[in-house]
Amino acid sequence: MPESLTYLAQVVGGLILLVWGGDRFVYGASAVARNLGVTPLMIGLTIVSFATSAPEFLVSTVAALRGEPELAIGNAIGSNIANIGLVLGAVALIHPIKLQTTNAQREMGILIVITCMTVFLFSDSVLTRIDGIVLLAALVIFGVWVVRRGTALAAPATLRSTLQNPQEISNGTEIENDIKMIVAIFWVVIGLVTLLAGAELLVKGAVSIAREFGVSEIIIGITLVALATSLPELVVSVVGAFRGEYGLVLGNIVGSNIFNLLGVVGVAALIPDNPIELPPNVLSLHLVVMVALTLALFAMTYKPKNKHIGRFKGIILLAAYLSFNAYLVTQNVRID
C-alpha cells in the first residue's frame, strides 16, 4: 500500500512540475521573442520545438547507441503522430487555436516537403549513413534559414510596429514588454529542466502503477513511453494557447515534427555501422498515419475560412490518434 501511494505521489508531482514548468517555459520563450523582435512562431519553430524534442532525441540516440535503431526510428515517427493527433487535438479541444499569421502556411509547406523527402528515403526499407547525412544537412539548412529569416525580416518589421504602437508586440498576451533577456533565458532553462523532470517523474509513477495492476510491458511501451516523449510539447502548447501565444503553439508542433524527421532520424541513421532495415509495419502503417495527419494539419492551416482550429477539428485529430493507439493495443493483445 505505501508503494502504491508513492507511485501516485510521483504521478501527481510530475503533473504539477509539468504545469508549472510549461508556464515558465512559455513565459521565458515569449519574452525572448519580444526582446529579439522575433515573432512567437519563429521562437516556436526554433528554441521551443528543439527543446521540447529533447526527450525524443535522447531516447532515440540512446536506442541507436544500444544497437536498436529501429526503436529510434519508430519513436520519431510515433512522436510526430502524437504531436499532431494528441497535442494539437487536445489543445484545440481545450482552447481553440487562432491562426493569426500566414507565416504558418509557409512553414507547413516546408514540413510537407520534408515529410515527402523522408518518405522517399524510407521507400527502399533501408536507411544508410548517407541518408542520415542528408537529413542532418537539411536540418542545418532549415535552422539557418529560420534564424536568418526571423532576425533579418521579422525584427525590423516588429521594431517599426513597436515604435508606432508599443502595445502591438504583445498581441494581447500576458507577457510584459520590459523583461530583461537574462531573466527570460533563466525562465526558459528552468522551465525546460522542470518539464523534463516532471515528465520523467510522471512516467516513472505511471509505469509503476501499471505494473502493479499487471499491465504487460508491451502495452506500457506503446502507450506510456510514447506519450512521455510528447508530454513537453503537450504542456507547452496548452499553456501557450491559454496565454494567447498561438504562433508559438503551431511553431512548436511544426518545428518539433521537422526536428524529429531531420534530427532524430538523421542521428539514428548516422550512428550504426550497418544500414538500418526498417520493419514492414513502419512503411505500411506508422508512416502512412504520420503522412495522413500531416496532410490533415496542412489542410486545416492552409487558407482556413474561419481562421482557427476549433474544437470539432480537435476532436477529429484526437479521435484519429486514439483510434491508432487502440489498433496498436489490439494487435499486440492478439499477438500475446
pLDDT at 291: 94
Contact between 307 and 197 under an 8 Å Cβ cutoff? The reply is: no
Whether the pLDDT of residue 281 is over 80: the answer is no
Measure Cα distances from 69 to 13, 86, 103, 121, 140 in Å.
32, 25, 35, 15, 22
Out of 5-9, 26-30, 203-207, pick the least confident: 203-207
Contact between 142 and 259 under an 8 Å Cβ cutoff? The reply is: no
153 vs 88 pLDDT, higher one: 88
pLDDT at 113: 93
pLDDT at 161: 43
- pLDDT, mean over the chain: 76
Band (pLDDT 50/70/90 cuts) for residue 155 is very low
140 vs 282 pLDDT, higher one: 140
Out of 31-40, 215-224, 270-279, pick the least confident: 215-224
Band (pLDDT 50/70/90 cuts) for residue 146 is confident
Whether the pLDDT of residue 173 is over 80: the answer is no
What is the rounded average pLDDT of the residues 85-90?
90
CB atoms within 10 A of CB 259: 28
Band (pLDDT 50/70/90 cuts) for residue 176 is low
Report the percent of the chain where pLDDT is more than 70: 74
Whether the pLDDT of residue 298 is over 60: the answer is yes
pLDDT at 320: 94
Secondary structure in 3-state letters for the chain = CHHHHHHHHHHHHHHHHHHHHHHHHHHHHHHHHHHHCCCHHHHHHHHHHHHHCHHHHHHHHHHHHCCCHHHHHHHHHHHHHHHHHHHHHHHHHHCCEECCCCHHHHHHHHHHHHHHHHHHHHCCCEECHHHHHHHHHHHHHHHHHHHHHHHHHHHHHHHHHHHHCCCHHHCCCCCCCCCCHHHHHHHHHHHHHHHHHHHHHHHHHHHHHHHHCCCCHHHHHHHHHHHHCCHHHHHHHHHHHHCCCHHHHHHHHHHHHHHHHHHHHHHHHHCCCCCEECCHHHHHHHHHHHHHHHHHHHHHHCCCCCCEECHHHHHHHHHHHHHHHHHHHHHHHHHC
- What residue type is 19 in one-letter code? V
Band (pLDDT 50/70/90 cuts) for residue 64 is confident
Band (pLDDT 50/70/90 cuts) for residue 174 is very low
CATH superfamily of 40-170+218-328: NCX, central ion-binding region (1.20.1420.30)
Whether the pLDDT of residue 164 is over 60: the answer is no
Q: Give φ, ψ of 104 to 5 degrees.
A: -60, -30
pLDDT digits (tens, 9 = 90+) for 316-328: 999 999 998 888 7
What is the rounded average pLDDT of the residues 300-328?
84
62 vs 238 pLDDT, higher one: 238
pLDDT at 71: 67
Band (pLDDT 50/70/90 cuts) for residue 180 is confident
pLDDT digits (tens, 9 = 90+) for 106-131: 778 889 999 999 999 998 889 899 99
